[in-house]
Amino acid sequence: MIYWVAMVKLGASRSLILVALSSDKPKGRREIIKETSLDEDVVSINLYRCWKEDLILRTKKPLYESTKIFKGRAGVSRTTRPYHLYVLRPKDIDSLRIGGHEFVKFNERFLDVRGGGTKSKSREVLDFLRKHNKKAWFSKEIVEALKDKGVRACDVMANVRRFERRSLVYVRGYKLDDRQTPFKEGFLIVWIAQGKMREQALEDCIQLTNKVLSERSSENPTIERIHFARDTIIEHSKLRSLVSLPYIQKKLGLNEHEAEYALSRAMQLYPDLKVVKLFNAYRYYYHTSLSDLELQAAIKMKENFIRMTKGRANRIGHNWEAVAEWFIDKFTSGAHFWTQSHRTPQMDSRRITLHLIKSVAGRRNAAEVDRVWEVTPGVFAPSITYVLSCKWGLVRKEDVDDFLEVLRWSKEFGVDTPDGRQIRQGVYGVFAGQAFDPNESVRLKNDSSISLASYVARMNIQLLKAVDFNSKLHERRCPKIVTVQRICRISKNEGEVRQTLDAIWENSAKSVEILEKITQNNEDVFRFERMLENV
């Protein structure tokens, strides 16, 4: 009885659907549901049966439309859905064209993939990886191999990620702290053997990906540097030691930026490489084969080494800050320097700590600048603020960009604008260094390049050079051998730098004698530093 009632209802539903299609206008499933007020499942099954029984014609290929889906508090999401149009089949007509769409009668080759039709793209990708399981494939290689079957770039990774969640494939890319990024040719993908022990199967996958990457290294100098850096780190770890960036840089014959890039890529590519930051300033690298006990011993040895050998570099760097400050104070009318009290009494009060609202290069809440001073041009003119960053050596683009980011995201000098975070008007950056790196250039949006010095000039940043300071001393009739570089090297601290410059400025005729006396007084300091460097 129940079955007979269901069949009667099904027949009535079919009649309503055929009546809805009696007009010449093709209609989709949703339109038919709206006109007949039937249940969605009832309409779907009846449309399929009517098409199979040659009562109606259906579009040969699905159409696509973009729709919005309201998800309550989650908002509105947009999705693209496929659908078909249907018309009544005229007598003895197997296909016709309406409005640019071809309508056909039922045939299994016209069935959609999800409806039991042709082989899906997902199955094509999976079968390809299963069949060619002796090699790791880049995603671009899979697209190229399956392009004749209609597989596109967007089809590969979307399905591979599903396979990965089902533990069918192993996917490898550059490994970052919180994500994975593709290689130039895409992600490396390899089939996981299902009959093996899990650990052995994953080890085989890693070996296959290593083989592909090693073959790729001969064509890419960056990859060669990455492997060389990794080999150097492993070598030192086997010797129960840590290795520093400058060591790898000198061994590879690269500049600092190229060495940093090679190491960062190596750590993304090989998660067994680790970095430890000593005294929150000096980075050392090691391999996970180093045991915890050996690692702690190596760290203590490096910390002792840093305490001994880095003292001279810090001393000269701080002395250079005092040189720049002295000349600014001497030749800038009305300059008023900012001061701060610090926890460490040895820290100069004119070194300023800025508060950051966003982390910049690992500095989360605060960043230091070497000096800040204000100049008021006139009674009614607004004051101008200058922020100084000192570097003993060449200034690189990375230094400039980092300095600008600190100013932009500091509470003191940054401001929110309709164009984003900007440096407040009336605030200017100043560098004190030897020169801008002549080997660096900056690529613009129109693909043209300019020198680093031109780029800095566009950013309204001034450079105070040692040669400028020396010219002022020589104008004061100091001999050529009296330079600010020499003063930085022989002075034991910032206070002595200021005293030396004051003395030379007041009595330039005896400047050479003054420097020789300071050198003799600080001979113990130099001897101690030389001894530590030879440890």
pLDDT on residue 385? 92
Residues 353 and 418 grouped into a single domain:
yes
pLDDT of residue 338 exceeding 80, the answer is yes
Question: From the centroid of its chain, how far is CA 2?
Answer: 65
Listed range (97-101, 407-411, 515-519) with the worst mean pLDDT: 97-101
- Structure-token pair, residue 400: 């400039």
What's the token pair of residue 384? 């101008």
CA angle 511, 515, 521 (to 5 degrees): 145
What pLDDT is recorded for position 502?
92
Residues 56 and 94 in one domain: yes
- Say yes or no: 195 and 68 in one domain: no
Distance CA 415, CA 404 (A): 13
Q: Quick one: pLDDT band at residue 113, thresholds 50, 70, 90?
A: low
| 370/482 same-domain check | yes
Measured CA to CA, the distance from residue 482 to residue 515 in angstroms comes to 8
**Judgement on whether residues 256 and 403 belong to the same structural domain of the protein:** no
User: Average pLDDT, stretch 107-121?
Assistant: 65
State the DSSP code for 527.
H
pLDDT score of 189: 92
Residue 531 has pLDDT above 60, yes or no: no
pLDDT for 216 equals 65
Question: Span 236-253, mean pLDDT?
Answer: 85
Are both 351 and 278 inside the same structural domain? Answer: no
Looking at 217, 244, 267, which one is the last position of a domain?
217
Tally of helices (H runs) and strands (E runs) in the chain: 18, 28
As a whole number of angstroms, the distance between CA 88 and CA 55 comes to: 6
Average of pLDDT values for 306-328?
80
Domain with 151, as residue range(s), is: 121-217
223-228-234 Cα angle (round to 5): 125
In 3D space, the residue among 470, 469, 489, 482 whose CA is nearest the CA of residue 510 turns out to be: 482
Q: Report the domain count for the chain.
A: 4
Residue 300 lies in a domain: no
Q: What percent of the chain has pLDDT over 90?
A: 11
User: Domain boundary residue among 95, 115, 135?
Assistant: 115
Please give the residue that has the higher pLDDT: either 361 or 5. 361
Q: Is residue 301 part of a domain?
A: no
Model pLDDT for residues 419-470, shown as the tens digit of each residue: 888 998 889 999 888 888 888 888 887 778 888 888 888 888 888 888 989 9
Mean pLDDT, range 83-100, rounded to an integer = 87
423 domain-assigned:
yes
Same-domain pairing of 145 and 184: yes
* Cβ burial, residue 32 (10 Å; 0-12/13-18/19+): buried
169 pLDDT above the threshold of 70: yes
435-to-118, 162, 325, 466, 491 alpha-carbon distances in Å: 67, 53, 18, 8, 23
Single-letter residue type at 166: R
**Phi and psi angles of residue 184, each rounded to the nearest 5 degrees, phi first:** -60, -35
The model's confidence at residue 535, banded by pLDDT at 50, 70 and 90, is: very low
CA 331 to the chain's CA centroid: 42
Beta strands in 6-100 (DSSP E): 27-28, 56-59, 63-70, 76-83, 85-88, 95-98
Are 208 and 242 within one domain?
A: no
Asked if the structure places residue 305 within a domain, the reply is no
pLDDT of residue 309: 59
Domain identity same for 462 and 529: yes
Alpha helices by DSSP H, listed for 88-244, are 121-131, 139-146, 153-165, 198-217, 221-238
CA–CA dist 90, 21 (Å, integer): 12
Which residue has 């085989």 as its token pair? 204
Do 265 and 389 lie in one domain? The reply is: no
Give this prediction's pTM. 0.46
Q: Residue 385 and residue 334: Cα distance in Å, rounded? A: 12
Q: Is 304 inside a domain boundary?
A: no
Terminal alpha carbon distance of the chain: 100
Q: How confident is the model at residue 8 (pLDDT cuts 50, 70, 90)?
A: very low
The pLDDT of residue 176 is: 56
Establish if 295 belongs to a structural domain: no
Q: What is the model's pLDDT at position 250?
A: 81
- Shortest CA distance to 456 belongs to which of 435, 427, 434, 426? 435
Q: What is the pLDDT of residue 410?
A: 92
Kindly state the tokens that stand for 145: 């191999």
Residues 137 and 101 in one domain: no
CATH code for the domain in which residue 140 is found: 1.10.10.10
Q: Single out the residue of 372, 363, 364 nearest to residue 340, CA to CA.
A: 372
Residue 190 confidence (pLDDT): 92
Question: Is residue 297 a part of any domain in this protein?
Answer: no
400, 343 in Cβ contact below 8 A? Answer: no
CB atoms within 10 A of CB 534: 7
Highest mean pLDDT among 9-13, 181-185, 276-280, 369-373: 369-373
pLDDT band at residue 503 under the 50/70/90 scheme: very high
Q: Where are the beta strands (DSSP E) in 394-517?
A: 394-395, 414-417, 420-423, 427-433, 435-436, 441-443, 449-451, 461-465
Q: Mean pLDDT score of the chain, rounded to an integer?
A: 83
pLDDT digits (tens, 9 = 90+) for 466-490: 898 999 999 988 998 999 999 988 8
533: pLDDT confidence band, cut at 50, 70 and 90? low
My answer on whether 475 and 356 are in the same domain is yes
* HSE, side-chain direction, 13 A CA sphere, residue 252: 29
Q: Do the domain assignments include residue 471?
A: yes
pLDDT at 165 over 60: yes
- Final residue in a domain of this structure, among 115, 142, 176: 115
Identify the residue with better confidence: 270 or 254.
270
Lowest mean pLDDT among 5-19, 63-77, 143-157: 5-19
| CATH label of the domain that carries residue 483 | 3.40.1350
